[in-house]
Amino acid sequence: MKLDKKKILEEAEDYFGSKRYGDGTYDIAEDCVELGQVWLDTYRRDYGALMRRTPKEMRKELKSYIKSRLDYSKYNATFIPTFIWTWLAQIIISWIVKKIINNII
């Protein structure tokens, strides 16, 4: 199963691109989509196991997968305090995870 990366990233660009920190947020969105595809590929042998889960369970698992593999510090090239940047990254991750799960279902 392949994610529609182009569609998800176009929506991310529309949503985050006009914001003040557009470059960094879009870069995080790109990496989240890539990690989402890697996560989805872990179910390659048995998509039925994934599809038997509720959307809430899928969101929780995917969000945990992305958070554990994403390096937040490489995106913060501005002078934003770390706690604000982490909070912003969490919003982006949640938004992308929602889009990925909607794409799967």
Q: How far apart are the C-alpha atoms of 5 and 36, rounded to whole Å?
A: 10
Residue 6 token pair = 């182009």
Indicate whether this model's pTM tops 0.85: no
The residue among 96, 69, 91, 94 whose CA lies nearest residue 4 is 96
Q: Tens digits of per-residue pLDDT, 49-83?
A: 888 899 999 999 999 999 999 887 777 666 677 77
CA dihedral 64, 23, 30, 95 (to 10 degrees): 50
CA distance 97 to 105: 12
Query: Mean per-residue pLDDT for 42-50?
Result: 86
Q: What is the pLDDT of residue 73?
A: 72
CB 3 within 8 A of CB 40: yes
